[in-house]
Amino acid sequence: MHSSNEFRVASAAAPAPATTGAPKKLSILYLGPNSGTSLHRAHSLRRLGHNVQTLDAYDFLPVSHLTDFWIHRTGAWGLEHFIRSRVLNVIQSTEFDVIWVDAGDLIGPKLVRSLKAHTKFVINYNVDDPYGARDSNKWRLYLQSVPMYDLVVVVRDCNVDEARIAGAKQVMRVHRSSDEVAHSMRTLSLEDETKWKSEVAFVGTWMPERGPLLARLVERGVPLSIWGNRWSRAKEWPILKSHWSGPGLENDEDYAKALQCAKVCIGLLSKGNRDSCTQRSFEIPHLAGVLCAERTAEHLSLYKEDEEAAFWNDADECAEKCKRLLADDDWRSAIAERGHLRAILNGTRNEIVMNHIITRVFTGLHDERLGPGDRASNDRSGMIS
């Protein structure tokens, strides 16, 4: 556990957000979920000095499992005109420098076309995998809208060519990013440490492939604590039940403290989402936690193994890494410190990545040398474009 009294992170000069080419203050309509990492990104644009108006299309729909089921299974069939009319009624004749669509599962091509009358640039940022098979028909409207966006931003290498094939005019690949505020280190009280302390923590929703892995850790004697939803559905629930500490941590304070108070933090990928890293891959080191995650090419490009993070190929290797980390306080503290420093130097934080996207909108989109689907190689700067 890293409390404010026992752990001090080495300071480092963070890369300053680039500003060349983009106006210093923009009027932005942020059309996306008013929660989670989407809201973090909207806040980061405000911190960069922009005037941001948020609008969540889900606010026009009833909150229910039936609504979620319908969107997931049919791709919001029958809702496109309804959402379009409600959005346009809110913005009326207002003009914006940029309209930013986050995710876009409710945003159809007719609405994107209408939004172009209110701005010069309509961009889409999607942290999910809309080109994969996991989410049934959820991304039907998004896929129809891809050709309409001026810039499509993705977080997976495989999505770059897929977006181009879907008709994207310009594609930009970036890393996911932690948030400077939501994932800043907290000063922990004794009460915080008592409530949230754990040896090995996993914070995340149940998925079919995750149950067997975490059950194997328990069988191998790893002192595991789980926070997350739907875990009672796991067939391994009889093994995992006593290790379940509560539902998903939706509150930023609770989430940050749980990760900060864990000696080791497990990072699990979503196989159905074709992940090679996840939000945890950035948030855990930003909070000076010890990231212990599956060994992938992207993880290895972000952090030096056993120096800035710990990696593994299967449950047994994960168990061994966890036990070694728990037994070696010095090694564990060194990984936490170096991992945090690397997270800063990588530039994988919202303000830097969001500013990079905005700058690309006002520079790269006018550069005829950048063809559809253009991208550069990963230079370990935290951004891939």
77 occurs within a structural domain: yes
2 occurs within a structural domain: no
pLDDT for residue 280 is more than 90: yes
Instruction: Give the pLDDT band (50/70/90) at residue 136.
Output: confident
294 occurs within a structural domain: yes
pLDDT for residue 287 is more than 50: yes
User: Same domain, yes or no, for 324 and 353?
Assistant: no
pLDDT per position as a tens digit, 304-352: 999 999 999 999 999 999 999 999 999 999 999 999 999 999 999 999 9
User: Same domain, yes or no, for 354 and 330?
Assistant: no
User: Same domain, yes or no, for 146 and 203?
Assistant: no
User: Same domain, yes or no, for 291 and 194?
Assistant: yes
Q: Is 47 helix (H, G, I), strand (E, B) or coil?
A: helix
Domain around 57 = 27-177+349-366
User: Same domain, yes or no, for 31 and 62?
Assistant: yes
Q: What number is the average pLDDT over the span 7-12?
A: 35
pLDDT per position as a tens digit, 348-381: 999 999 999 999 998 876 433 333 334 333 333 4
382 occurs within a structural domain: no
Average confidence score pLDDT of the chain: 90
Q: Higher confidence at residue 10 or residue 164?
A: 164
Instruction: Give the pLDDT band (50/70/90) at residue 7.
Output: very low
User: Same domain, yes or no, for 315 and 201?
Assistant: yes
What total of structural domains would you count in the chain?
Answer: 2
User: Same domain, yes or no, for 243 and 291?
Assistant: yes
User: Same domain, yes or no, for 313 and 201?
Assistant: yes
11 occurs within a structural domain: no
User: Same domain, yes or no, for 110 and 257?
Assistant: no
Q: Higher confidence at residue 374 or residue 286?
A: 286
User: Same domain, yes or no, for 199 and 160?
Assistant: no
CATH number at residue 206: 3.40.50.2000
309 occurs within a structural domain: yes
User: Same domain, yes or no, for 267 and 160?
Assistant: no
Backbone angles phi, psi at 209, to 5 degrees: -75, -15
Instruction: Give the pLDDT band (50/70/90) at residue 22.
Output: low
User: Same domain, yes or no, for 156 and 239?
Assistant: no
pLDDT per position as a tens digit, 212-235: 999 999 999 999 999 999 999 999
pLDDT for residue 14 is more than 50: no
Per-residue H/E/C for the chain: CCCCCCCCCCCCCCCCCCCCCCCCCCEEEEECCCCHHHHHHHHHHHHCCCEEEEECHHHHCCCCHHHHHHHHHHCCCCCHHHHHHHHHHHHCCCCCCEEEEECCCCCCHHHHHHHHHHCCEEEEECCCCCCCCCCCCCCHHHHHHHHHCCEEEECCHHHHHHHHHCCCCCEEECCCCECCCCCCCCCCCHHHHHHHCEEEEEECCCCCCHHHHHHHHHHCCCCEEEECCCHHHCCCHHHHHHHEEECCCCCHHHHHHHHHCEEEEEECCCHHHCCCCCCHHHHHHHCCCCEEEECCHHHHHHCCECCCEEEECCHHHHHHHHHHHHHCHHHHHHHHHHHHHHHHHHCCEHHHHHHHHHHHHHCHHHCCCCCCCCCCCCCCCCCCC
Quote the pTM value: 0.87
380 occurs within a structural domain: no
pLDDT per position as a tens digit, 44-57: 999 999 999 999 99
50 occurs within a structural domain: yes
Measured CA to CA, the distance from residue 223 to residue 165 in angstroms comes to 46
